[in-house]
Amino acid sequence: MIKTVTSAGLSSNGKPYVCLDGDKTRYYVSQKIESPAVGAVIDADTSSKRFDGAKFDTWFLNSWKAPTVKSAAEVKQEIAQKALPPPVVNPGSWMIDYGDCSRFVSNVVGSAIGAGLIKEPGDIHPWICDAYKALQGLRMGQPVEFNDKFRIPDERPGPSRDEQEEEFESDVPF
């Protein structure tokens, strides 16, 4: 754990101790290591033990070292590597992150709704599937032709639902 040494001293028995992060808890320094200087930022390895008859734990500084300082770019890169799987790099592939993928599919569906090509909620699913397939093709470097031939209506629209029902009712021989 990363801590700052805020004070140091010797116990009544002559044992060296340090206090960390402004806390008054004493961490007794192992005889095997040198005490860190007051004001030092350290990566501390500590432990505690409750001795027989004691009311409180006794804390020990077993070892310490200077913390490894990472640049902001290194931290950002580590976070990015943990969040996304490594990209597949093919010649001609596009590096498109997941947020952009969602926006692409949303824009395709929104444009189809705006153009009147999606009229009912059940019409959305095929558009999403085809947009996603086209997008994955770009990401893999293998563009796929967008399959809209079954979704764009002819110049002459078919009969409306009301017209279909009237036609159905006229076929019933009652």
Half-sphere exposure of 49 (CA within 13 A, CB side): 6
Question: How far apart are alpha carbons 108 and 8 in whole angstroms?
Answer: 65
Exposed, middle or buried by CB within 10 Å (0-12, 13-18, 19+), for 83?
Answer: exposed
Half-sphere exposure of 7 (CA within 13 A, CB side): 9
Question: How far apart are alpha carbons 108 and 65 in whole angstroms?
Answer: 55
Q: pLDDT by residue for the chain (174 residues), tens digit each? A: 888 999 999 999 999 999 998 889 999 998 889 999 999 989 999 999 999 998 999 999 999 998 877 777 777 777 766 655 555 556 666 777 777 888 888 998 899 888 888 888 888 888 888 888 887 777 777 777 665 554 454 444 555 556 555 554 555 454
Q: Could you state, in order of their start, the residue ranges of all structural domains in the chain?
A: 2-65, 88-165
Q: Where are the beta strands (DSSP E) in 11-95?
A: 16-20, 27-29, 41-49, 58-65
**The predicted structure's pLDDT at residue 53:** 92
